[in-house]
Amino acid sequence: MKIFCVGRNYSEHAKELNNEIPDAPVLFCKPETALLKNNEPFFLPDFSNDVHHELELVIRICRNGKRIEPRFAHKYYDHITVGIDFTARDLQQKQKEKGLPWEISKAFDGSAPLGILIPLNQLKRKENIHFHMLKNGKLVQEGETAEMLFNFDQIISYISTFFTLKTGDLIYTGTPSGVGKVLIGDKLEAFLEGQKLLHTEVK
Ligand code: ZN
């Protein structure tokens, strides 16, 4: 099973980190050991002093494919949820400055909490899906699919140009603005269309 992530997929978030708006999806991967399921707590790693939450929509691939055209891509995912792409922002900044890969700042153990997967056909509206996250009861991030620079179909098509997608693969589709530092004791709760699908406590 593979975990793909898209960076800079919401223009407001790209701006808040002073990144350029990309002309193709920015891709990176996380290993399976990054997954946190069943609302397990997130343990702050000792190699960073600035771990940020990035709330994202996550889709799950339901059939194998490569070189998928955008117009057929909707047939390749059938579940959706919210997830968090935890990022060691201080490490990422150092890697970026050196022109080195991001993995140590993005793909570490526990860096990918995953909510309960919902069948897409259970969603009342599919055109513009809304999601948000509370930190200690306060709204910190919200977004909707209409704000994405690259939609699900374009992302799937692009990924499958380079990588064969397989049933069960997950795609974290990028974060809207409002990312921020987490501290021990913080409680994060993430919602899809008003339904709470994920919570995790920082330990
Ligand atoms: Zn992200």
Radius of gyration, CA atoms only, the chain: 16
Say how many domains are in the chain.
1
Token pair 């999601």 is at which residue? 131
Rounded Cα distance, 2 and 129, in Å: 24
- Which domain range does residue 171 map to? 3-201
Rounded Cα distance, 59 and 40, in Å: 20
pLDDT for 125: 84
CA of 8 to the centre of ligand 1 (A): 8
pLDDT for 30: 98
CA of 137 to the centre of ligand 1 (A): 22
pLDDT at 91 over 90: yes
CA of 138 to the centre of ligand 1 (A): 20
Rounded Cα distance, 69 and 135, in Å: 38
CA of 9 to the centre of ligand 1 (A): 9
**CA distances to 3, 44, 136, 201 from 185, in Å:** 27, 10, 9, 6
CA of 6 to the centre of ligand 1 (A): 6
Rounded Cα distance, 97 and 161, in Å: 28
CA of 32 to the centre of ligand 1 (A): 16
CA of 179 to the centre of ligand 1 (A): 9
Binning pLDDT at 50, 70 and 90, where does residue 13 land? Answer: confident
CA of 106 to the centre of ligand 1 (A): 8
Pairing of strands 35-36, 51-53: unpaired
CA of 175 to the centre of ligand 1 (A): 5
pLDDT for 21: 85
Least reliable range by pLDDT among 17-21, 109-113, 126-130, 185-189: 17-21
CA of 83 to the centre of ligand 1 (A): 10
CA of 2 to the centre of ligand 1 (A): 16
164 Cβ neighbours under 8 A, 6+ residues apart: 64, 65, 66
CA of 122 to the centre of ligand 1 (A): 25
Single-letter amino acid, residue 66 = K
Pairing of strands 35-36, 26-30: unpaired
Mean pLDDT of the chain: 96
What CATH number corresponds to the domain at position 185?
3.90.850.10
pLDDT for 183: 98
CA of 62 to the centre of ligand 1 (A): 22
pLDDT for 44: 98
